[in-house]
Structure formats: structure tokens, C-alpha cells
Amino acid sequence: MKLAERLRRDAEEIWGRIKQHPFVLELYRGTLPLEKFKYYVIQDYNYLVGMAKAFSLLAAKAERHNVMEEALQIAFQDASIEMRNYEEILGELGLSLSKVLEIEPAPTNTAYTNHMIATCCLKPPIDCMVAMIPCFWTYLELAETHRSLAEENRNKLYLKWIKAYESEEYRSLTERLIRLVNEEWNGERYSELRRIFLRSSRYELMFWDMAYRLEAWP
């Protein structure tokens, strides 16, 4: 079994909880309170800024040219798909980009972003990719799993968010990162890579919970 598939199998319980989280279900049904969606969008945009920095670190550390090239392309395409979509959504919510970037990320958001950046700074490139892949992959699976819920959704703003992750562009982007992870693995250090993957998966679950609870600093 390839690395990504082994990691995905080991994270099944966590990913199952992500798919059934109240925030996710209410978002796909269109019943999520707008206050929670607004909070989530602000936090997630700040998270995506951190992810772009992590991809830059990956590109800088990559020993093989194709890894560097892929990292930069994936970062650019993710910015094109997710960040541009968010900029439109923020406008519909009456929020300016400059205002959003002034907001301090919540504790869970800060911890998750620091986990990614620290992994990319201190660990080999494969560790960095493993730390980032749960974000891409879980969002793709959410779109696949809850397609029927989205079909009943009449909230145009939430559908705009959902459609970004249903697109062939996003699927292709995620599959490229999965393929890169599999190609770069040399068969060693599985336990350590598993720990990183599970930690990122737990942070994905915690991120949804953070948004549902409107987490704030004490």
C-alpha cells in the first residue's frame, strides 16, 4: 500500500468525525448560522496565508527540482481556487481583505498553522507534505460525501463555498499532492510520518469545532 493510502486508512476514525461534525453538516445543508460561517471564513483565510508560507518553505528545501516546481504550482493554484473564492465571499459578507488580515487567528488556528510551518522548517520535505495533505484531502472527501446534502441546499453563499471543493480543478490539485507524497516516500520512518498526518487530521477536526464554538482567546 502506498504512503498516502496507509495514512488515510489510519486516520479513518478522525476523518469520520470530521464528516459528521455539526458545523460541516449544517454548512452543507445550508442551515449554519451566518455568524459561524463568517467567523470560519475569517479564520480559514488567515490559515491559507500560513499554508502558502509552508509551501514556500517546502519549495526552498526541496532537493529535487520537480518537488520545488510542484510545490510552487500547487501553492499558486490553491491561492487561485480557495483564496480568490474567499475574497469574493468576504465581499458578500461586507468584509475587506485588509480588515480580515488584521484579525488575530484563534488559538486552534494559530496552533495548526504553527504545526505546519514548524514541520516545514525543521523536517524533511516529505514531512512537510504529509502535514499539509489532510487539509486538501478532507475537503475533497467532504464534497464527495455530502454531495446529496448540497443538492438540497438553497443558501447561495454556502453553495459558492461548496462548489470550489466540488470542482475538477480542486480534485486535480489534491490528487497531485497525493501523488507527490507517494513518489517522495522511500519506505522509511512511517511511524513518524503517521504521527504528523494524524496530528494534522486532529487539527482539521479541531478547526471545525473551533468555528462552531466561535473560539476566542481568554
The reply to whether 16 falls in a domain is yes
Cell, residue 123: 523536517
Q: Read off the pTM.
A: 0.94
The answer to whether residue 36 is domain-embedded is: yes
**Is residue 218 one of the residues assigned to a domain?**
no
Asked if residue 25 lies in contact with residue 149, where contact means CB atoms within 8 angstroms, the answer is yes
Task: Supply the range of the domain harboring residue 69.
Answer: 3-213
Q: Is residue 178 part of a domain?
A: yes
- Give dist(CA 10, CA 189) in Å, integer: 15
CATH number at residue 195: 1.20.910.10
Whether 202 is covered by a domain: the verdict is: yes
Model confidence band, residue 5 (pLDDT cutoffs 50, 70, 90): very high
- Domains in the chain: how many in total? 1
Residue 33 φ/ψ region, left for φ over 0, alpha for ψ in the -120 to 50 degree band, beta for the rest = beta
188-201 residue pLDDT tens: 999 999 999 999 99
